[in-house]
Amino acid sequence: MITVENLTRTYGGFRAVDDVSFTARAGRVTGFLGPNGAGKSTTMRIMVGLTPPTSGTALIDGRPFAELPNPGLDVGVLLDASAQHAGRTGREILAVAARTMGLPKMRVEEMLRRVSLTDAEADRRVRNYSLGMRQRLGIAAALLGDPAVLILDEPANGLDPAGIRWMRDLLRDYADEGGTVLLSSHLLHEIEVVADDLVVIGNGRIVAQGTKEELLAAAGTLVRTRDVAGLTRALSAAGIASSITGDGAVRTDADAEQVGLLAMDARVPLTELRAADGAGLEEMFLELTAESQREGNTEGVAA
Amino acid sequence: MSTSVIDRPVSKARVRGLRSTETIPTSRLIGVELQKMFNTRSGFWLLTGGALLSVVATIITVFADPDLSYGSFAAAIGAPLSIVLPMAGILAVTSEWSQRTGLTTFTLVPHRGQVIGAKLAATLLVGVTSIAIAFSVGALGNVAGSALMGQDTVWDISVGNALTIFFADGLGMLMGFMLGVLIRNSPGAIVGYFVYALVLPAAFGALAAFQDWFERIQGWVDFQFASGQLYDGGLTATEWAHLAVSGLVWLVIPLAVGLRLVVRSEVK
């Protein structure tokens, strides 16, 4: 289990991580979601003791990471698959890590097989690895000590679709066996498939968190019609806020029955009426992304 | 996928809490650091190249030096070694930052001081071994060379002088290590080393040549000048004091500052 409490990290006047609290539970895959530069990597670096926090704590099963006697056996970490010595072979990198943890050499071969790196690939220098191969090597290094907790920063980056599927199954199995998995991504769809719990971060602050079901259920109703103007008029006349999604549908927090009745009274023919299923989450996420890409951040994200 | 934890079969294999109980011994880390010095292409060729250079230097000495003695071999082999060893000391530290391997190293061992200590020990082990090999190669060259050239074999380095040469090479290596810890960037630290080892001594030398007052205090402020005496051996008490004072300023204090930065800085 990972417990993060009131974590803050500032750089000069800039709050990269701003009062972040969440828990990644055992037996669950927790998705840490946010646009680039939202503070995901900084939070993860603080968790594993690479970056000192300005205030707050991050604990692994109740203990600070730096106090674990041999952390590789408890926590598997992959922060950046490219952060390896380019002149070392994949096998050497695993051998050095295994030796540091005090593991037998055969563990290296087991892990190479587990991540499907061939002998020839393992003997190549990392300089000549594709990003996908580096990710596999990084996963192998993280799994080496058979830890109960995995902390992975954008592990699906650079993997092909089959690789992404493989990664998803691996993490699912890991959590099903009782492990704690925290993985970050800036892609909602990538994380939606595998995560049980979601923590959404933007501009250093947590903007939403809960089980995936909760977050998806809270997403409201999605309506389609050829008469969008008529529908929004009817909704606003009834005091119901609505917004138009990217593909021309109308999304509102009101439930489907209420929307259907209002549409009938206003004689607006509907072509689709259903629970939004994550459309709200996606919208919130897009808003976050758009905001972080604009110069001079504007207010308006619900905390 | 809307299955929840409850209806999913949980084997509980990983519900076991923390299992690491024994801390990682420093002796193991020294072994790991030694392995890391040799298992990269750059590290391997740096150290192998150093060994090859000492053989080449020995052969050149046999044919180029009319008056063969152990001293001439020691000087010929020592020159390339005194460049290679500090480089090895620099790279042992800086590659963690320049190649970003520190992300892995310092998550496997969060106690950075312990890692740096292991690196220092590994660096010194490599240094002492290399110098011992260089002395042996030089001795072989001296015996074989004098026989080949039909001269008497001359042993003109005392045991005491050999020890001070060891010490001088060790200090050079520490200098590289210190710059690595302080600068934490491979090209930067290597440039820093050449400034330290070549530019500064030249500047101090010029100053001493033109300013009498500086010549009188040069031993106290010029570390390269003070440690250079070690190669000739037979240091006076004042010369040892010169070495201690200038070493404190140019080596010990920057090393302490660098260690403090390493322990507190952010690893990215």
Phi, psi torsion values for A136, nearest 5 degrees: -65, -40
Residue A169 lies in a domain: yes
Q: Which two structure tokens, joined as six digits, stand for B222? A: 């010029």
Residue B52 lies in a domain: yes
Residue B92 lies in a domain: yes
Residue A302 lies in a domain: no
Quick one: A96 and A124 in the same domain? Answer: yes
Query: What is the domain-level CATH number for residue A259?
Result: 3.30.70.100
Quick one: A138 and A240 in the same domain? Answer: no
Chain A from 118 to 177: CB within 8 A of any B CB: 125, 141, 148, 174, 176-177
Q: Whole-number mean pLDDT of chain A?
A: 89
Question: Which is nearest to A289 in space by CA: A81, A37, A45, A54?
Answer: A37
A124, exposed or middle or buried, with CB in 10 Å at 0-12, 13-18, 19+?
A: middle
pLDDT in tens, chain B (268 residues): 444 444 444 455 565 567 778 899 999 999 999 999 988 888 888 888 888 888 888 888 888 888 888 888 888 888 888 888 899 899 999 999 998 999 999 999 999 999 999 999 999 999 889 888 888 888 998 898 888 888 888 888 888 888 898 899 899 999 999 999 999 999 999 999 999 888 998 999 999 999 999 988 888 989 988 998 898 888 899 999 999 999 999 999 999 999 999 998 899 8
Chain B from 20 to 59: CB within 8 A of any A CB: 20-24, 28-29, 31-32, 35-36, 39-43
Residue B247 lies in a domain: yes
Can you tell me the distance from the alpha carbon of B248 to that of B82, in angstroms, rounded to the nearest whole number?
21
B15 touches chain A (CB under 8 A): yes
Residue A33 lies in a domain: yes
Residue B21 lies in a domain: no
Question: Which is nearest to A192 in space by CA: A163, A212, A222?
Answer: A212
Which of A30, A70, A82, A125 is the best residue to mutate to test the B interface, defined by the most B CB atoms within 10 Å of its own CB? A70
pLDDT at residue B4 in the model: 44
Taking CB atoms and an 8 Å cutoff, what residues of chain B touch A73? Answer: 19-20
Question: Which is nearest to A155 in space by CA: A78, A264, A88?
Answer: A78
Residue A264 lies in a domain: yes
Q: Which two structure tokens, joined as six digits, stand for A10? A: 């500032």
Taking CB atoms and an 8 Å cutoff, what residues of chain B touch A49? Answer: 106-107, 110
* Alpha helices (H) along B111-211: 112-149, 159-183, 186-194, 200-210
Quick one: A206 and A226 in the same domain? Answer: no
Quick one: A97 and A51 in the same domain? Answer: yes
Find the mean pLDDT for residues A31-53: 94
Residue A227 lies in a domain: yes
Residue A44 lies in a domain: yes
Quick one: A156 and A247 in the same domain? Answer: no
Residue B227 lies in a domain: yes
Lowest mean pLDDT among A48-52, A54-58, A62-66, B222-226: B222-226
Quick one: A169 and A66 in the same domain? Answer: yes
Q: What is the DSSP letter of A49?
A: T
Residue B169 lies in a domain: yes
Quick one: A72 and A195 in the same domain? Answer: yes
A217 vs B207, more confident: B207
pLDDT at residue A201 above 80? yes
Highest-confidence segment of A63-77, A214-228, A287-301, B148-162: A63-77
ipTM of the complex: 0.85
Q: How far off is chain B from A82, nearest CA to CA, in Å?
A: 8
Phi, psi torsion values for A239, nearest 5 degrees: 75, 25
Chain A from 222 to 241: CB within 8 A of any B CB: none
Residue A291 lies in a domain: no
- CB-CB under 8 Å, B99 with A86: yes
Taking CB atoms and an 8 Å cutoff, what residues of chain B touch A173? Answer: none
pLDDT at residue A297 in the model: 43
Can you tell me the distance from the alpha carbon of A221 to that of A255, in angstroms, rounded to the nearest whole number?
6
B118, exposed or middle or buried, with CB in 10 Å at 0-12, 13-18, 19+?
A: buried
pLDDT at residue A292 above 60? no
Q: How confident is the model at residue A295 (pLDDT cuts 50, 70, 90)?
A: very low
- CB-CB under 8 Å, B18 with A60: yes
Quick one: A199 and A224 in the same domain? Answer: no
Residue B5 lies in a domain: no
Can you tell me the distance from the alpha carbon of A108 to that of A44, in angstroms, rounded to the nearest whole number?
25
Query: Which bin fits B61, alpha (ψ -120 to 50), beta or left (φ > 0)?
Result: alpha
- CB-CB under 8 Å, A26 with B15: yes
CB pairs under 8 A between A and B: 146
A48, exposed or middle or buried, with CB in 10 Å at 0-12, 13-18, 19+?
A: buried
Residue B63 lies in a domain: yes
Out of A51, A99, A178, closest to residue B32 by CB? A99
* Alpha helices (H) along chain A: 40-47, 90-101, 106-114, 119-122, 131-143, 161-176, 188-192, 212-217, 228-237, 256-265, 279-293
Give the domain extent around A245. 220-276
pLDDT at residue A299 above 70? no
User: What is the b/e burial string over A224-254, where b = at least 16 CB atoms within 10 angstroms of the residue's CB?
Assistant: bbeebeebbebbeeeebebeebeeebbbbeb
Q: Which helix (H) or strand (E) holds A60?
A: strand A55-60
Query: Which bin fits B250, alpha (ψ -120 to 50), beta or left (φ > 0)?
Result: alpha
Residue A110 lies in a domain: yes
Quick one: A128 and A238 in the same domain? Answer: no
Query: What is the domain-level CATH number for residue A71?
Result: 3.40.50.300
Which of A45, A84, A88, A174 is the best residue to mutate to test the B interface, defined by the most B CB atoms within 10 Å of its own CB? A88
Give the domain extent around B122. 26-264
pLDDT at residue A302 in the model: 35
Q: Which two structure tokens, joined as six digits, stand for B25? A: 């011994």
Question: How many domains would you assign to chain B?
Answer: 1
Taking CB atoms and an 8 Å cutoff, what residues of chain B touch A71? Answer: 20, 107-110
Out of B5, B95, B268, closest to residue A28 by CB? B5
Cβ-based neighbour number of residue A108 at 10 Å: 24
For B115, nearest residue in chain A (alpha carbons): A100
Out of A101, A179, A180, closest to residue B108 by CB? A101
B7 touches chain A (CB under 8 A): no
Quick one: A196 and A248 in the same domain? Answer: no
Quick one: A148 and A246 in the same domain? Answer: no
Question: How many domains would you assign to chain A?
Answer: 2
Quick one: A14 and A32 in the same domain? Answer: yes
A63 touches chain B (CB under 8 A): yes
Strand order in the sheet with A242-244: A242-244, A250-252, A221-225, A270-275
- CB-CB under 8 Å, B13 with A99: no
Can you tell me the distance from the alpha carbon of A96 to that of A84, in angstroms, rounded to the nearest whole number?
12
pLDDT at residue B29 in the model: 97
For A192, nearest residue in chain B (alpha carbons): B1
Lowest mean pLDDT among A119-133, A165-179, A236-250, B192-206: A236-250
pLDDT at residue A289 in the model: 65
- CB-CB under 8 Å, A85 with B101: yes
